[in-house]
Structure 1
Amino acid sequence: MFYIDTADKKEIEKYNKLHFLKGVTTNPTILSKTELDHDYVTHSKSVIQENENLTYYLQLTGESSKEMLEHYAFIKDNLAEEIKNVGIKVPMTLAGFETVRYIKKDNPDQKIMGTSMYSIDQGILSAVAGCDAIVLYINRMEMNNIDSLFVVKSIRKYVDDHNLDMEIVGASYKNTGQVVNSLVAGAHSATIAPDIFEKMIQKDLSVKALKDFNEDAKKYK
């Protein structure tokens, strides 16, 4: 089961019909590029109500833990009826680690996904802090000469060795090979942009084969 990395309602509906999505991941950059229903809260409500099988992740903003917690309180107040389907993404800076601890103390059942992750130590500390999932930026690591697959393998080994209940999610992909390689390396799942999903599903050779089969089928109908 995968996540789709978009806030576009049509894209979410399109791929949710294929029954391999478990959630939607958004961030401020994604939301800023999306045609929203009035505002992001109204838009989020609509997506959740139309896709009740999915967890919809919103990212906290702010420089300090205080600001992040204020944003979390705003989300809880304005998405009160939908909160069971809302996950919270937290950038794992010092402020982020503090925020995770406060949220988990207040509401142990709140799903938290640590994001902006680039290293093994971040992954280990996030597991200890109480994140339910972490997002590893695969392409960004590779662009900065970081061995992304070694990072995935190492965090996965730590999680497995210590029997920790934390999901490793690959993200920031630029091609399908990066998705596959991260999953083979040990990522439990991946959050994938619609254009990458399309490339994973619609293979030119498969499309051509189907066309050929259909043409041949006309000969005996």
Structure 2
Amino acid sequence: MKFFIDTANLKDIQEAESLGILDGVTTNPSLMAKESISGDDNVRAHYKKICDITPGDVSAEVISTDLEGMKREAAALVKIADNIVVKIPMIREGVKALAWCRDQGIRTNCTLVFSAGQAILAAKAGATYVSPFIGRIDDIGWEGMTLISDIAEVYAVQGFDTEILAASIRSGSHIVAAAKAGADVVTCPLSSFESLFKHPLTDIGLEKFLADHKKALSVVS
């Protein structure tokens, strides 16, 4: 399973890259705004900085909701770097844009997916990735991981090449559950990845090993 970090913060991206486990980055307008990045030129310059940090896929989202606008933005975004993947919303015009990008050889990430039916549409239109939003589904009382399982089953039966990118991941347990459910990729904040390191028995074991080593040294001396 691939690990993408969901942020526009360069420091967090660099830290994730330094771990040696980072496969890509996802962003959106909200994450750009969180970093006080605004204006087309500044946003594209920031994407370039992200692409320079990681060789993996970097999802850059369109703002337009009409077909012609999404086509223009997609064509401009892919000029930033070879590892740009254009993020397109799951709406009627978005599906048309996915198909247009497919025909142009532009890789895409279909975002805001909340049903297996939407995931089928995205795959049929040639999306490289489909992004079901797990946490947001959980928020309304449904089971987000069930959606991952459903999409994985449909894609396996139908032979779709589109990768399942589990988004709105909020914890380490979410990451593990998404892996078990069949996600090809998870994207989440750095803190969620860091939570995978933590286990009380690891801390206790390390403390004992170090104490025993210190005791052995004192005996030798």
How far the C-alpha of 1:207 sits from its partner, in A, is 3.2
User: For structure 2, which runs of at least 5 residues remain unmatched after alignment?
Assistant: none
How far the C-alpha of 1:190 sits from its partner, in A, is 0.6
Structure 2 counterpart of 1:44: 47
Match of 1:142 among 138, 142, 145: 138
How far the C-alpha of 1:35 sits from its partner, in A, is 5.2
**How far apart, CA to CA, are the structure 1 residues paired with 2:131 and 2:204?**
35
The residue type paired with residue 3 of structure 2 is F
SS state of the match for residue 61, structure 1? coil
Structure 1 counterpart of 2:75: 73
How far the C-alpha of 1:167 sits from its partner, in A, is 0.6
The residue type paired with residue 119 of structure 1 is S
Structure 1 counterpart of 2:115: 119
**How far apart, CA to CA, are the structure 1 residues paired with 2:190 and 2:178?**
18
User: For structure 1, which runs of at least 5 residues remain unmatched after alignment?
Assistant: none
Structure 1 counterpart of 2:63: 61
| Contact 1:8–1:35 (Cα < 8 Å) also in 2 | no
**How far apart, CA to CA, are the structure 1 residues paired with 2:65 and 2:160?**
29
How far the C-alpha of 1:121 sits from its partner, in A, is 0.3
Largest Rg, 1 or 2 = 2
- State the TM-score, normalized to the length of structure 1: 0.89
| Contact 1:68–1:99 (Cα < 8 Å) also in 2 | yes
How far the C-alpha of 1:124 sits from its partner, in A, is 0.9
Identity of aligned residues (%): 25
Structure 2 counterpart of 1:166: 162
| Contact 2:78–2:86 (Cα < 8 Å) also in 1 | no
How far the C-alpha of 1:179 sits from its partner, in A, is 2.1
Aligned length: 214
> Structure 2 vs 1, CA of residues 201 and 36 (structure 1 numbering), >3 Å: closer, same or farther?
farther
How far the C-alpha of 1:5 sits from its partner, in A, is 0.6
How far the C-alpha of 1:36 sits from its partner, in A, is 4.9
Structure 2 counterpart of 1:32: 33
SS state of the match for residue 156, structure 1? helix
**How far apart, CA to CA, are the structure 2 residues paired with 1:208 and 1:69?**
55
